[in-house]
């Protein structure tokens, strides 16, 4: 019996990835976009799984003592400015990098909103890209 295998060439795959990234970037580039909580959490989950889950784990439980839990964390459940500053600026001398340089305002707003609403952290917080922009460089 002949078997048909659908081989997607690497070039085609690279093209697809670029299109997905462009789609995300164009959403981020609209400075007037105001997100709903649902939109933030959906987008933030993707940002989290790509950039944060390796250390903090998909469950948010981390791998203590190396990587702290974000589920129940006092920073995540505390004032949002401090939470945002931790993600934007990182913690020098630790494995927690400054994500401000590599993530857009919309991605930072989304991932912080995701962490504040995921697992047992049901804060119902909405964070807009403009709030991230205002905190950059502070």
Residues from 36 through 75 that contact ligand HEC (CB under 6 A) = 51-52, 54-56, 67-68, 70, 73-75
127 touches 100 (CB < 8 A): no
CA distance 7 to 79: 49
We find the least distance from the C-beta atom of residue 132 to ligand HEC, in angstroms, to be 12
Give the HSE-up count for residue 113: Cα atoms under 13 Å, Cβ half-sphere. 25
- In terms of CB distance, is 14 or 102 closer to ligand HEC? 102
Distances (CA, A) of 93 to 13, 89, 98: 37, 12, 11
Tokens (6 digits) for 52: 């944060």
Residues from 78 through 117 that contact ligand HEC (CB under 6 A) = 83, 86-87, 91, 94-96, 99, 111, 115
Tokens (6 digits) for 101: 């340089």
- In terms of CB distance, is 6 or 109 closer to ligand HEC? 109
We find the least distance from the C-beta atom of residue 52 to ligand HEC, in angstroms, to be 3
We find the least distance from the C-beta atom of residue 51 to ligand HEC, in angstroms, to be 4
98 touches 88 (CB < 8 A): yes
Number of residues that bind ligand HEC (CB under 6 A): 22
Distances (CA, A) of 51 to 1, 6, 79: 44, 30, 22
- In terms of CB distance, is 37 or 96 closer to ligand HEC? 96
- Give the interface with ligand HEC as residue ranges (CB under 6 A): 51-52, 54-56, 67-68, 70, 73-76, 83, 86-87, 91, 94-96, 99, 111, 115
């Amino acid at each position: 019996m002949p078997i048909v295998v659908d081989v997607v060439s690497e070039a085609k795959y690279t093209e697809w990835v670029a299109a997905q990234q462009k789609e995300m970037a164009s959403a981020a580039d609209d400075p007037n976009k105001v997100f709903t909580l649902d939109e933030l959490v959906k987008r933030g989950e993707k940002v989290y799984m790509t950039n944060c889950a390796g250390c903090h784990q998909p469950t948010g439980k981390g791998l203590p003592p190396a990587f702290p839990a974000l589920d129940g964390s006092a920073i995540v459940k505390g004032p949002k400015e401090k939470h945002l500053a931790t993600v934007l600026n990182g913690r020098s001398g630790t494995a927690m990098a400054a994500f401000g340089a590599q993530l857009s305002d919309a991605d930072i707003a989304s991932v912080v909103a995701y962490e504040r609403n995921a697992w047992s952290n049901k804060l119902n917080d909405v964070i807009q890209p403009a709030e991230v922009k205002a905190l950059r460089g502070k």
